[in-house]
Amino acid sequence: MNQNKAPLFEALARYVGKKVTKLHVPGHKYGQGLPKEMKALLGKSAQFDLSVLEDIDSLAHPQTVIKEAQKLAAEVFGAKETFFLVNGSTLGVQAMILSVCSENDKIIVSRNSHQSVMAGLILSGATPVYLQPEFDDEFNLPLNVKPETVKIALKKNPDAKAVLIISPTQFGITADIKKIARIVHKAGKILLVDEAWGPHFKFHPEFPLFALIDGADMVVQSTHKRLPALSQTSMIHIQGKRIDREKVQKAIQMLQTTSPSYILLASLDSARREMFLHGKKSWAKIISLTKKAREEIREAGFKILERKYLNDLGFDLDITNIVIEVENGFKAWKILNKNKIEPEFATLDHLIIIVGIGNNTNDVKFFIKALKNISPKKNFKKIKYPTFISKIFLSPREAMLKNIIKVPMKNAIGRISADTITPYPPGIPLLAPGEVITKEIFDYLKEINEYSSVRTQILGDFQTINVVK
């Protein structure tokens, strides 16, 4: 196929150039009816915010330019078929689960999953078998899931339909997908990979291997996270004969808006072409910039997570994710904000920055200058993260469909959780819907309250929790 083309982007530009009389939705009529402050903000780009029209195809049933754009993407990413998403990888992960699992089916899932995995379990009614990722005491960080852990889980659960692995994690740490794929396929199961943080792996040999190349059956990627596409844009890639393509398409149609943004769709098409034409050269520059940044961070006295260190443990690292040990990550974040620098995220003793295609040498200079106002990690009370997973009494779906009440955490011991509780660090769910709240969990949350932050899927904090009535 002609990868120099961007058929959807080009069709959108042609249609806007027609200057047609606008007697169809959207209500703002190509930006003409927008409030003046939105007009000033968006400028001419508002003209491209269109509804489904014959000239620009339909995402729900692609026949022309969207179909061609998806085929071009599949060719670049090495997939049998690719689907464009405008509701992010959240939709993609949910669609993956719905396409392979029905109610009461088992699915083996990394415990350090994005909250979209929990939503997919609830929507499908599937029962999770959780895989605990390895934990590194030296960096006080979750790593990823080992192949041996997957093998044991499959042996104990031969009736599981699929395995879902998160690789890379938000820290940039990848699992050995090649070995995991061999294990999963030998057991006759399907391998799903949430590769939201790794769509750029395809475009330079210094990155960890791309999950499709390593043997994954279906992969979801957040194109907007690491490639030059707009926020909310993602892709699902499928390959091989294990995936029912029609089930995937039906799941996407059920979850995705019927009024997609054509600006977002066009950005997927444009990003694919940009990466095909210039991806390797662009990422070579960013990798060089990242190596320089890593060197200067080390020279400033900070310890950072290194690729060789992880390789020795059986994992790999996207070096453009820089994980820096600091005395207090949350304080470090505030210092950077005061210097008009926005990092990716922080844990109590880590600061994480991501270097990407939009960055340049000045960005690194500003960061290194601001970093000198931050203390390297010296003394910090490391709290051992519990490696147990609480007993599952109900599937996440069953827990969410029950009557739910909010109770003080101290009164919740022995109750069944309707929440996901995730302490940062390490960012692994300590408790999921359907699991029993134990004294060990309560004691751990109480202990880390002074040192950490806690997120729940249902808004709240660890002082109260939603439980099954």
Q: Is residue 316 part of a domain?
A: no
Q: Pick the last residue of a domain from 232, 259, 274.
A: 274
Q: Are residues 47 and 189 in the same domain?
A: yes
For the chain, what percent of residues have pLDDT higher than 70?
94
- The predicted structure's pLDDT at residue 317: 98
Distance, CA of 195 to CA of 177 (rounded, Å): 11
Distance, CA of 399 to CA of 426 (rounded, Å): 25
For residue range 95-118, list pLDDT tens digits in order: 999 999 999 999 999 988 888 898
- The predicted structure's pLDDT at residue 2: 95
- The predicted structure's pLDDT at residue 459: 39
Domain CATH number, residue 460: 3.90.100.10
Q: Is residue 286 part of a domain?
A: no
Among 297, 185, 194, which residue's Cα sits nearest to residue 242? 185
Q: For residue 465, what are the β-bridge partners? A: 407
Q: Is residue 119 part of a domain?
A: yes
Q: Which residues contact 278 (CB under 8 A, 6 or more apart)?
A: none
- The predicted structure's pLDDT at residue 427: 65
Residue that wins the pLDDT comparison between 328 and 109: 109
For residue range 404-414, list pLDDT tens digits in order: 998 988 888 99
Which residue segment(s) compose the domain that 140 sits in?
A: 7-274
Distance, CA of 185 to CA of 195 (rounded, Å): 19
Length of the chain in terms of residues written? 469
Q: Determine the average pLDDT of the residues in 263-290.
A: 98
Q: Which residues contact 50 (CB under 8 A, 6 or more apart)?
A: 12, 15, 16, 26, 30, 56, 262
Q: Pick the last residue of a domain from 246, 274, 302.
A: 274
Distance, CA of 129 to CA of 159 (rounded, Å): 11
Q: For residue 460, what are the β-bridge partners? A: none
Q: Determine the average pLDDT of the residues in 195-209.
A: 97
Q: How many domains are contained in the chain?
A: 2
Only one residue has tokens 């690789």, namely 167
Number of other residues whose CB lies within 10 A of the CB of residue 22 = 13
- pLDDT of residue 168 exceeding 60, the answer is yes
Q: Are residues 25 and 159 in the same domain?
A: yes
Distance, CA of 111 to CA of 229 (rounded, Å): 29
Q: Is residue 154 part of a domain?
A: yes
Q: Are residues 267 and 402 in the same domain?
A: no
Q: Identify whether the C-beta of residue 367 lies closer than 8 Å to the C-beta of residue 344.
A: no
- The predicted structure's pLDDT at residue 171: 94
Q: Identify whether the C-beta of residue 97 lies closer than 8 Å to the C-beta of residue 300.
A: no
Q: Are residues 227 and 93 in the same domain?
A: yes
Q: Pick the last residue of a domain from 214, 247, 274.
A: 274
Q: Is 450 helix (H, G, I), strand (E, B) or coil?
A: coil
Q: Is residue 326 part of a domain?
A: no
Tokens of 211: 């999950």
E strand or H helix at 296, and its extent? helix 262-299
Distance, CA of 241 to CA of 81 (rounded, Å): 12
Distance, CA of 446 to CA of 385 (rounded, Å): 13
Q: Is residue 205 part of a domain?
A: yes
- pLDDT of residue 329 exceeding 90, the answer is no
- The predicted structure's pLDDT at residue 31: 84
For residue range 280-327, list pLDDT tens digits in order: 999 999 999 999 999 999 999 999 999 999 999 999 999 999 999 998
Whether the bond between 26 and the residue before it is cis, its omega within 30 degrees of 0, is yes
Q: How confident is the model at residue 375 (pLDDT cuts 50, 70, 90)?
A: confident
Q: Is residue 439 part of a domain?
A: yes
Q: Is residue 46 part of a domain?
A: yes
Average pLDDT over the chain reads 91
Domain CATH number, residue 65: 3.40.640.10
- The predicted structure's pLDDT at residue 458: 43
Distance, CA of 50 to CA of 259 (rounded, Å): 9
- The predicted structure's pLDDT at residue 380: 58
The amino acid at 173: I
Q: How confident is the model at residue 278 (pLDDT cuts 50, 70, 90)?
A: very high
Q: Are residues 21 and 165 in the same domain?
A: yes
Distance, CA of 109 to CA of 161 (rounded, Å): 11
Q: Determine the average pLDDT of the residues in 149-155.
A: 98
Q: For residue 453, what are the β-bridge partners? A: 424
Q: How confident is the model at residue 378 (pLDDT cuts 50, 70, 90)?
A: confident
- The predicted structure's pLDDT at residue 455: 53
Q: Is 373 helix (H, G, I), strand (E, B) or coil?
A: coil
- The predicted structure's pLDDT at residue 453: 59
Tokens of 391: 């007993």
- The predicted structure's pLDDT at residue 61: 92
What letters, b where the CB count within 10 A reaches 16 and e where it falls short, cover 248-279?
Answer: bbebbeebbeeebbbbbbbbbbbbbbbbbeeb
